[in-house]
Amino acid sequence: MTENSTRFRWQADGSVRVRAYLNSEIEHVKGSTAYGISLYVAPPPRFQRIKHVADRVAEKVEGLPSSYMENFESKLNDNYECEGIEIELDVDDSGIKISVKDIYGGRRVIHSD
């Protein structure tokens, strides 16, 4: 990397990874010196998994009659229970709201049509 640079890389899944370098010198009181600060940032893999599940559920729900939603939601929750993922499907006049919740961490990804 060049002096004081920042790179943004868009991933195939739509997420962003950032790499940055800051030309600097850090000296410890005992004499050790570090040159430059490097930074690498990316979304946590767990969040990416939750987003992937939300996208897959959105694909599967498309075209499904609303009368099947309750049964489908139950099957999805049985399927993803071992991963600690809970899925809620809310049907209203404007469409279907899909909530995917990490029951261990509480993060949500919501996909609405």
Tell me: do 16 and 68 sit in the same domain: no
Domain ranges, residue 37? 5-41
Question: pLDDT tens for residues 37-80?
Answer: 888 887 777 788 888 899 999 999 988 887 888 899 999 999 99
Domain count, the chain: 2
Tell me: do 64 and 103 sit in the same domain: yes
Residue 43 region, left (φ>0) first, then alpha (ψ -120 to 50), else beta? beta
CA–CA separation, 58 vs 12, rounded Å?
18
Element (H, E) at 4: none
Tell me: do 90 and 104 sit in the same domain: yes
Averaged pLDDT score across all residues of the chain:
82
| Residue 1 scores a pLDDT above 50 | no
pTM assigned to the model: 0.58
What percent of the chain is modeled with pLDDT above 90? 23
| Residue 9 scores a pLDDT above 80 | yes
